[in-house]
Amino acid sequence: MKNLPDEVAALLRLWPDYRPTPLIELPGLAKECGVGEIMAKLEADRPLGNFKSLGGMYAGLRALARAAGLPSLETLVARRGAPKLPRLICASDGNHGLAVAAAAEMAGAPSRIFLHKGVPPERADRIAARGADIQWIEGTYDDAVLAASRSASAGEGLLIADTSDDPGDPALGDVMQGYELIAAELAGQLAERRPTHLFVQAGVGGLAAALVKGLADRQLLPERILVVEPKRAACVARALATGKPELIEGHLGTSAEMLSCGLASAPAVEILLQYSAESLVVGEDRLAEAVVTLDRAGGQRPRNPGRQDWRDCWRPPPVRKRGTLWVSTVRQLCF
Ligand SMILES: Cc1ncc(COP(=O)(O)O)c(C=O)c1O
């Protein structure tokens, strides 16, 4: 694949299952919304079930290679734990922790993953099955982030965070560079068809920022970038409005569970502001309808079609007759 940092390419060589996720067209939905084209990138088809595998695995392996003074990810994995490797640490809602634990397992290193009590046990089991030590934390995702950071500061291992208040955090830089693989895949899949609008979901904003930067670097930046969040955990919306991450207190529970974050990532916000990203905040009713609509649009079994839901929650764009929308999605989370 062209335009890929060497070490991201090395990750792909280590990953025999790797293949680009599909970019599908949704002509029925485009017609319904009155736009030219809608495309969706199906990130649920990624190894480990989501895009987080790209960031957490890449950053985890790179941190271990750096710590062991090894020249490449391939050497690291070939040696499998010799010399003795440090522990990888992170906080997670489930997906990032799974990726970091998988990196540790691949390299023969230990891992410790901090989960808040709202994470369902089956998600914790998947992480534990990769050999990780699970630490349960009272509170929200943001409390787990703090606990993981304290653990790393106390010398218990290397922090592989997917969010940070430090724009220079090297592991986070690697996480976001790993996500850029999605933009590299898109460059091949879109060919010359530059989308007019990008809709991308956000927890702390890392995915959205990496995509925006990756598309801009490849001359594919859409005219409008819409960062989509649940109303109950709209921390990126808050940061875009005020110019910096600010903690949203209280209950962040939402059906879009992986997006339940109260504090946006500073490096991500910096990039999103630089590219004038806008915010689109969606209430719980709309989130539930969107799942049904996307299932239907993807040709799956129709369930109680609510015909105007996409039009309402996506605010039809001014260029609607010729517009191309591009949507980052996992089928169940559904944006
Ligand atoms: C499937 C899925 N989508 C989106 C996100 C949000 O990504 P970010 O926190 O980088 O904004 C997550 C985070 O875990 C996720 O698992």
Q: How do residues 223-282 score in pLDDT, each as one tens digit?
A: 899 999 999 999 999 999 999 999 998 778 888 888 888 999 999 999 999 999 999 999
**Domain check: are 132 and 222 in the same one?**
no
Atom of ligand 1 nearest to the CA of 205: 11
**Domain check: are 101 and 243 in the same one?**
no
Q: What is the pLDDT along the chain (335 residues), one digit of tens a residue?
A: 656 666 677 777 777 767 888 888 888 888 888 888 888 888 887 878 888 989 999 999 999 999 999 998 889 999 987 889 999 999 999 999 999 999 999 999 999 999 999 899 999 999 999 999 999 999 999 999 999 999 999 999 999 999 999 988 999 999 999 999 999 999 999 887 888 999 999 999 999 999 999 999 999 999 899 999 999 999 999 999 999 999 998 778 888 888 888 999 999 999 999 999 999 999 988 888 887 887 777 733 333 323 323 333 333 333 333 455 666 653 332 33
List all residues whose CB is within 6 A of at least one atom of ligand 1: 50, 52, 93, 95-96, 162, 201-208, 258-259, 330, 333
**Domain check: are 229 and 157 in the same one?**
no
**Domain check: are 188 and 284 in the same one?**
yes
Beta bridge partners of 88: 111, 158
pTM of the entire predicted model = 0.88
CA-nearest residue, atom 13 of ligand 1:
258
**Domain check: are 196 and 305 in the same one?**
yes
In a domain, 334, yes or no: no
CA of 56 to the centre of ligand 1 (A): 12
Atom of ligand 1 nearest to the CA of 96: 14
Atom of ligand 1 nearest to the CA of 92: 14
Q: Which range of residues forms the domain containing residue 162?
A: 52-172
**Domain check: are 193 and 313 in the same one?**
yes
Range 145-169 burial, b when 16+ CB lie within 10 A, else e? bebbbebbeeeebbbbbbbbeeeeb
In a domain, 335, yes or no: no
**Domain check: are 235 and 306 in the same one?**
yes
**Domain check: are 281 and 227 in the same one?**
yes
Dihedral, 136, 228, 262, 139 alpha carbons, nearest 10? -30
Instruction: Tell me the C-alpha distance between 246 and 235, whole Å.
Output: 7
**Domain check: are 155 and 187 in the same one?**
no
**Domain check: are 66 and 11 in the same one?**
no
Under a CB-based contact definition with an 8 Å cutoff, are residues 308 and 19 in contact? no
**Domain check: are 45 and 159 in the same one?**
no
Q: Give the CATH number of the domain where residue 153 resides.
A: 3.40.50.1100
